[in-house]
């Protein structure tokens, strides 16, 4: 009876963590259209236009371990609330950069926003894994959270396009509707999270023990997991980025078609994560991760060795949320199918690498970020 009550009481915190997963994708996804805007507004090069994205993710390198320490000291709830306030500050700085038309201030806003996203990521992953009791259930919740993250990443370009209009002709000030929406989401999340009770198993354990003589790096499976997550992220991001460059450069495929092909990769990640969530209670993280890795390896090897001039009509997910057909080399289609494989890897690796870490889970999450 007690166990059922505990599970019921976790429903709202789980829903809140899902919402934060979506919010992370929404705010992070804003940097892509913002890159197009600043390129045209400030006549920036392709390299300079991507500095906002770079600043957003560079913040993870600075904030990952401090965020893990915050999680240990003040717990999930206070860390998440602090992250939301930092996120509001980041969006506000971006808004201010539009008022004064400053590229430098825009970059500061992107960097501050990255602090917030890193802190939220540090919270939501171990929180969902803990609420699920680690193991299969923890992995299942992480996959469902990843599904909402992918959904946010898929929706943002369409929604931002609707709110801003033609981003190629827009200025930062024209992005205000999207920025106001982001602030509204942050404020709503802060109010809801502030009013709910969040279980804090690791902070309680931390207060009741002596000074730690070990760290997450003392655990072999966590070290291997940290290496795996580093390699995995390179593969996940590298496939669509390099495929896009290859299609538009070497193959002379127009940018619109290439964009829909890459969009399909991210859409397949959403499908894969949803499928992983549904199957998460039936298969272990180890089984899912092993299957996905082997299948992905087969896809990549076939893409390398099949003839580059062998074409196929591939169904693609278009920006207006409809499907169409695109003529692409079969090797490109195979690389896009890798989205189904990379989809379950983040949750599976995190679940396996942090299993049994107990009070070291918070610090481990920071190292992951």
| Most confident of the ranges 110-124, 127-141, 196-210 | 110-124
How many other CB atoms are there within 10 angstroms of residue 261's CB atom? 23
pLDDT at 91 over 50: yes
Of 12, 33, 16, 159, give the one whose Cα is nearest residue 84.
16
- CB-neighbour burial class of residue 155 (10 A; exposed 0-12, middle 13-18, buried 19+): middle
Residues with Cβ within 8 Å of residue 119, at least 6 apart in sequence = 63, 67, 70, 79, 80, 82, 83, 86
Q: How far is 65 from 113, CA to CA, in rounded Å?
A: 17
Mean pLDDT of 188-217: 70
Confidence category of residue 295, pLDDT binned at 50, 70, 90: very high
Give residue 196's pLDDT.
83
Beta strand spans in 22-112 (E): none
Confidence category of residue 17, pLDDT binned at 50, 70, 90: confident
pTM, two decimals, is 0.74
Give residue 92's pLDDT.
94
Mean per-residue pLDDT of the chain: 81
Give residue 253's pLDDT.
76
Confidence category of residue 202, pLDDT binned at 50, 70, 90: low
Give the length of the chain: 369
As given in the structure block, the two tokens for residue 290 are: 């092993």
Lowest pLDDT segment from 166-175, 209-218, 342-351: 209-218
Phi, psi of 315 (to 5 degrees): -70, 130
Give residue 262's pLDDT.
78
Give residue 211's pLDDT.
56
Determine which helix (DSSP H) or strand (DSSP E) holds 327, and give its type and residue range: strand 323-329
- Percentage, residues of the chain above pLDDT 90: 16
As given in the structure block, the two tokens for residue 238 are: 């590298």
Tell me, what DSSP letter sits at residue 359?
Answer: G
- C-beta of residue 222 within 8 angstroms of C-beta of residue 354: yes
Give residue 138's pLDDT.
79
Give residue 204's pLDDT.
45
Residue of higher predicted confidence among 231 and 254: 231
pLDDT tens per residue, range 42-86: 887 777 877 887 888 888 888 888 888 888 888 888 999 999 999
pLDDT at 320 over 80: no
Mean pLDDT of 142-169: 73
Give residue 134's pLDDT.
67
Confidence category of residue 140, pLDDT binned at 50, 70, 90: confident
Q: How many CA atoms lie within 13 A of 91 on its CB side?
A: 27
Q: Among all chains, which residue has been given the structure tokens 């207006």? A: 320
Determine which helix (DSSP H) or strand (DSSP E) holds 11, and give its type and residue range: helix 11-29
- C-beta of residue 232 within 8 angstroms of C-beta of residue 297: no
Give residue 329's pLDDT.
87
Give residue 3's pLDDT.
43
């Amino acid at each position: 009876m007690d166990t059922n009550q505990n599970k019921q009481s976790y429903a709202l915190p789980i829903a809140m963590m899902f919402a934060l997963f979506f919010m992370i994708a929404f705010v992070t996804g804003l940097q892509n259209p913002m890159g197009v805007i600043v390129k045209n507004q400030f006549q920036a090069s392709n390299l300079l236009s991507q500095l906002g994205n770079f600043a957003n993710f560079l913040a993870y390198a600075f904030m990952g371990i401090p965020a893990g320490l915050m999680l240990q000291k003040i717990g999930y709830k206070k860390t998440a609330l602090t992250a939301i306030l930092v996120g509001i500050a980041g969006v506000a700085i971006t808004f201010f950069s539009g008022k004064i038309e400053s590229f430098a201030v825009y970059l500061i806003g992107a960097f501050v926003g990255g602090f917030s996203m890193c802190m939220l990521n540090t919270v939501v992953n171990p929180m969902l894994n803990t609420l699920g009791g680690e193991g299969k259930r923890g992995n299942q919740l992480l996959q469902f959270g990843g599904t909402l993250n992918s959904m946010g990443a898929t929706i943002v370009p369409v929604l931002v396009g609707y709110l801003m209009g033609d981003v190629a002709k827009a200025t930062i000030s024209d992005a205000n509707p999207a920025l106001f929406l982001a602030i509204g989401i942050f404020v709503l999340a802060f109010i809801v999270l502030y009013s709910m009770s969040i279980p804090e198993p690791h902070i309680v354990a931390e207060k009741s023990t002596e000074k730690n003589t070990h760290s997450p790096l003392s655990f072999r499976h966590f070290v291997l997991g940290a290496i795996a997550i580093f390699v995995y992220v390179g593969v996940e991001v590298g496939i669509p980025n390099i495929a896009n460059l290859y299609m538009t450069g070497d193959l002379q495929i127009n940018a619109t078609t290439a964009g829909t092909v890459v969009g399909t990769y991210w859409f397949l990640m959403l499908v894969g994560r949803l499928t992983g969530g549904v199957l998460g209670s039936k298969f272990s993280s180890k089984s899912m991760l092993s299957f996905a890795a082997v299948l992905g390896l087969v896809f990549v090897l076939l893409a390398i060795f099949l003839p580059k001039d062998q074409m196929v009509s591939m169904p693609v997910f278009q920006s207006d949320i409809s499907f169409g057909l695109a003529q692409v080399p079969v090797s490109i289609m195979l690389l896009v199918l890798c989205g189904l494989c990379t989809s379950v890897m983040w949750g599976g690796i995190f679940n396996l690498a942090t299993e049994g870490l107990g009070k070291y889970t918070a610090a481990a999450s920071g190292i992951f970020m």
